[in-house]
A and B are shown apart, each in its own frame.
Chain A
Amino acid sequence: MRSIARKRWRRTKVRVLSAIIPATGAVPGIDPERCAEFLTRYRREAPFLPRLALNLSVLVFLLSPPLTGAGLRPALALSPDRLEHHCEGLGRHRLYHLRQVTLMLKTVAGLVWGADPAVRDSLGLAPYAEDPTDWRTE
């Protein structure tokens, strides 16, 4: 049960991050599959507070459409146009801490998007190598 809830919550986070950086004609947006993989890695490798900050930011994003005038429904239940309005409104909100929520989401979305080989290829950049997991021990 806990595992199902966790998977559903991860899918929600993927959808929120995908809304932050959607695809344009020229450049891909967030790839949901890669994003899900990244979130698993984030959960495993990031410290507690950044993980908490991401979860809280997603929660605020979901519940704050009334504050951006996008509607009364949770963000992911909005129409694409209203969701777009919400994304934009939250990032430019007069309340600093709401803008910081968007900054947190943009930071994590950027980590997924900027490391995506398809995105990098579309911008003429070489793909990243794998991050090593070792260090000097001797």
Chain B
Amino acid sequence: MRGEHISFRSGALIEVEVDYVIVGSGPGGSAAAAILSRAGRTVALCEAGAWRDTPHLPATLFGAMRDLFSDFGQMMTRGRSMIPIVQASCVGGTGVINSAIVVRTPESILEGWARDHGLGDFLTPAAVERAQTEIEAELDVAAMGEGQLGRHDRLLLKALEATGREGHPTARSAGDCRGSGACLQGCPTGAKRTGNLTWIPEVLDAGGCVLSCAPVSRVVFEGERAVGVRGRFRHPDRAYHGPKGAAFRVRARRGVLIAASATGSAPLLARSGVRLPALGTGFRAHPGSGVIGVYPERVDPLIGTTQGASSVHHSGDLGIKLESLTLPLDLLPSRLSGAGSTLARSLAESSHMAMWVAAVNAEAEGTVHGARLPTLRGGPYGKNVVSYQPTQGDIARLRAGCATIARLHFEAGATKVLPGIHGVPVELDRDQIHLIEEAPLDNRAWTWILSHLFGTCALGADPARSVVGPDLHVHGRKNLHVVDASCLPTTLGVNPQHTIQAVARLTAERLANTEAA
């Protein structure tokens, strides 16, 4: 029997009863939902955002901010500098707007977790590898081919090869990518195999339920046992002035899984009465920035994959990963230095630009919590407050990464680079790269962006230092698990989506198998 999708509605209380309720439909939530559904469990997925199929996806960046991004794309870190955080709020989660890059979890990371956080026999390298192999088969993962790469990708690969550095076309869960260069607005061709196109329809086919426009306000407990969630539907159109959304309650006979992201899961648990010293702490990320190269010939960065080339050559010595990146034309002005004629002259060269970014495997730690003052409920931009600032060491790594990128651009034939660093000239030639290396170690001088978020409900054996145990079960509670990036106790140094999916999948398998036994 096909299940039901319940979108916004007003009126009487909506009640649903299932085996498992999962909060959040991103990579973690959708992966767990599919596995539990296949095991014969009824599943309800609660997603704060709307469900937008491919024809509903916006074309413009403004449309993406309105329809897909969390908090209208204005979610920022709090601290010395304001760093934008890229997250989505829609069925499919951040997978809808990211570049679907697939990188297996480094074995050294899993070994470190086992050593330092007491993983036991759960997330073993062999188990994670098996889960990731299965996910790759299900999601059409492939390295981008020559016909899919853009010229900005090929230039990066060429420069890496010419300088003897490792470089490779990225593997993405978008084997049929047609190079629209519009990942940020949601794939217009449906080639990106996001949860809303793959695993979530499978959940519906298996008789499950999807509640969209349904932000969960609390997990409901009976004693220490999680028995469901509750919330109220929220209309996705800000201009809507009709009756307010109906309240909903989802009762879960067997368990509640939280997959509301590294910025959402901890505040939800805190609102629900979970009190653990580590809750909301240990927030980590891969902050990054980029350098734009201007080439004598057309690069046409919006033709080809959004992120088709990458390098882990400097993961060890500099702690950075290099990637190509395409920005929509609507976003480019905010990334370039200057305003007025200087900015306009730079923009006129946009078809000759290639942007490559350095993502820093940062040592900085921050916190995430819900706003404490009722008048500031939800923090300055709407929801949860993320306090996070890269350390001096992180800035030094970024600085070294940006200087490396500038050299690679010149190796690939660029005539100048645009570093976008305050205190450094707008344009640099080959002889001025040292100015990047001498740029201030001040967060405020750099144009950061925060992606790849981790922690706040970190796993570990010790309840004083962690929120979930080695099996991702919340300490001191029954039938409550966390299956998203928030449970990862450290950064990965690589794109995290594949790890999140594998961890969620293994947790769901364990739940299904435990019950079967």
Contact = CB atoms under 8 A, between A and B. Distances in A.
Interface of A: 19-27, 29, 38, 41-42, 44-47, 49-50, 53, 83-84, 87-88, 90-92, 96, 99-100, 102-103, 105-107, 109-111, 113-115, 119-120, 123-125, 128-138
Contact of A24 (B51, B331, B344): B344
Contact of B339 (A88, A113, A132, A134): A88
Given A88-B339, A110-B334, A111-B61, A135 B347 contact: no
B13 interface: no
Nearest to A123: B351
A134 B67 CA distance: 10
Contact of B329 (A88, A103, A114): A114
A131 B91 CA distance: 18
Contacts of B56: 132, 134-136
Give the one of A24, A83, A124 with max B CB within 10 A. A24
Interface SS of chain A: helix, strand, loop or mixed? helix
B444 A96 contact: yes
B341 A22 contact: yes
Contacts of A27: 344, 347-348
A42 B351 CA distance: 27
A129 B340 contact: no
Nearest to B351: A123
A110 B341 contact: no
Contacts of B422: 92, 99
Interface of B: 5, 7-8, 50-53, 55-63, 65-67, 71-72, 74, 81-82, 91, 212, 236-239, 298, 300, 302, 328-334, 336-345, 347-348, 350-351, 380-382, 422, 444
A113 B338 contact: no
A76 to B, nearest CB: 13
Given A23-B344, A114-B333, A136-B7, 11 more contacts: A44-B239, A47-B382, A91-B339, A110-B61, A110-B330, A111-B60, A113-B347, A114-B331, A115-B329, A132-B55, A135-B51
A49 B74 contact: yes
12 contacts: A21-B344, A24-B345, A46-B65, A90-B339, A92-B422, A103-B334, A110-B334, A113-B329, A123-B350, A135-B51, A135-B56, A136-B53
A50 B350 CA distance: 27
Contacts of B61: 110-111, 114-115
Given A24-B345, A110-B331, A110-B334, A135 B236 contact: yes
A125 B329 contact: yes
B60 A115 contact: yes
Contacts of A129: 59
A113 B61 CA distance: 11
Given A109-B333, A135-B50, A26 B351 contact: no
A131 B57 CA distance: 7
Contacts of A91: 337-340, 343
Contact of A136 (B58, B212, B345, B382): B212
A56 B137 CA distance: 50
Contacts of A45: 62, 66, 238-239
A136 B342 contact: no
Contacts of B336: 106
